[in-house]
């Protein structure tokens, strides 16, 4: 029982990071109708920047701000200077460009910083808090949950309560109709990338202290699990990304705790397979338009 409570609460914190990363995939998928296979590599670059800033200044918070800014800038530049130039008539072209970008970024990071893991310190203790003798999540896990909740809440407000958010959603759902109403759709696509990579960078930054440390592949497993969560959730559903991200996080924690870490990837794959067999469009996918 104590073990279950501990695994559930850590699973929730890991799940929050997964949900955040899955949300970043949903944002870019909605904005540009691409599954961005370069998301992990793009998310790790800002983490290196944060690491450098934190090492130089001693401030975790300056590093965090730098990661967000770098992620936003990177997303903007990649869309403006690269993805926009890729022909849209065939999704394969965008995927190939993304994979090429992964190779360039990861090789570049390895050349610049070396391929080794760099230990990254968390801003809060990582030992589980004890409540009534039962080990729960650590203060750092709590911090992760709070940050993820604040960011997701902020994004939900932006998308649902502001006229910029209305334009972002409209441009994603119906680009031509939106242009007819005066929405600058290309700008909305860029902004989607900006928000997406900044969010992904934050997720990666929150993740690294809980893993082996920082290396060019530090977000790869996060991407795989978050991608599974995003697909389970419906790929264009923010609510789906949240629910599926938390579920996958808890699933991985339980399987790792009761079986072994090696059993976690097959468990995620099994979940993905079952959901896709039962509901190929994902759990929270938008309903089809009425035809009559």
Q: Which residues bind another protein (CB under 8 A)?
A: 163, 166-167, 169-170, 173-174, 176-185, 286-290, 292
- Residue 64 has a CB neighbour count (10 Å cut-off) of 20
Between 57 and 162, CB nearer to another protein: 162
What CA–CA distances, in Å, run from 246 to 77, 157, 170?
A: 31, 20, 27
Asked whether the beta carbons of 42 and 98 are under 8 A apart, the reply is: no
Between 129 and 174, CB nearer to another protein: 174
Minimum distance from CB of 89 to another protein (Å)? 13
Minimum distance from CB of 227 to another protein (Å)? 23
Between 104 and 158, CB nearer to another protein: 158
Minimum distance from CB of 183 to another protein (Å)? 6
Q: Is 119 helix (H, G, I), strand (E, B) or coil?
A: coil
Between 184 and 279, CB nearer to another protein: 184
Between 29 and 51, CB nearer to another protein: 29
Closest to 188 (Cα-Cα) out of 163, 161, 169: 169
For the chain, strand residue ranges (E) read 130-131, 134-135
Minimum distance from CB of 180 to another protein (Å)? 5
Minimum distance from CB of 39 to another protein (Å)? 24
Between 32 and 148, CB nearer to another protein: 32
Burial of residue 161 (number of CB atoms within 10 Å: 0-12, 13-18, 19+): exposed
Q: At what angle do helices 139-161 and 238-258 cross, to 10 degrees?
A: 160
Minimum distance from CB of 170 to another protein (Å)? 5
CA angle 112, 115, 118 (to 5 degrees): 95
């Amino acid at each position: 029982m104590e073990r279950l409570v501990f695994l559930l609460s850590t699973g929730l914190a890991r799940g929050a990071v997964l949900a955040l990363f899955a949300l970043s995939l949903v944002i870019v998928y909605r904005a540009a109708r691409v599954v961005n296979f370069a998301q992990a590599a793009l998310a790790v670059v800002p983490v290196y920047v944060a690491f450098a800033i934190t090492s130089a200044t001693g401030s975790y918070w300056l590093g965090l701000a730098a990661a967000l800014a770098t992620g936003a800038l990177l997303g903007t530049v990649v869309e403006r200077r690269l993805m926009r130039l890729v022909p849209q008539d065939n999704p394969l072209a965008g995927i190939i460009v993304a994979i090429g970008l992964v190779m360039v970024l990861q090789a570049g990071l390895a050349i610049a910083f070396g391929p080794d893991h760099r230990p990254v310190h968390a801003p809060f203790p990582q030992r589980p808090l004890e409540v009534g003798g039962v080990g729960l999540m650590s203060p750092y896990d709590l911090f992760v949950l709070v940050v993820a909740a604040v960011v997701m809440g902020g994004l939900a407000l932006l998308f649902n309560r502001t006229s910029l958010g209305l334009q972002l959603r409209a441009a994603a759902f119906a680009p031509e109709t939106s242009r007819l109403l005066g929405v600058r759709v290309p700008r909305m696509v860029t902004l989607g990338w900006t928000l997406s990579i900044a969010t992904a960078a934050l997720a990666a930054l929150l993740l690294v202290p809980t893993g082996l440390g920082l290396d060019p592949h530090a977000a790869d497993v996060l991407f795989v699990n978050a991608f599974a969560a995003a697909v389970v959730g419906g790929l264009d559903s923010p609510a789906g990304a949240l629910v599926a991200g938390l579920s996958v996080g808890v699933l991985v924690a339980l399987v790792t705790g009761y079986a072994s870490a090696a059993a976690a990837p097959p468990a995620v794959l099994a979940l993905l397979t079952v959901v896709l067999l039962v509901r190929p469009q994902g759990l929270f996918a938008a309903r089809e338009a009425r035809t009559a």
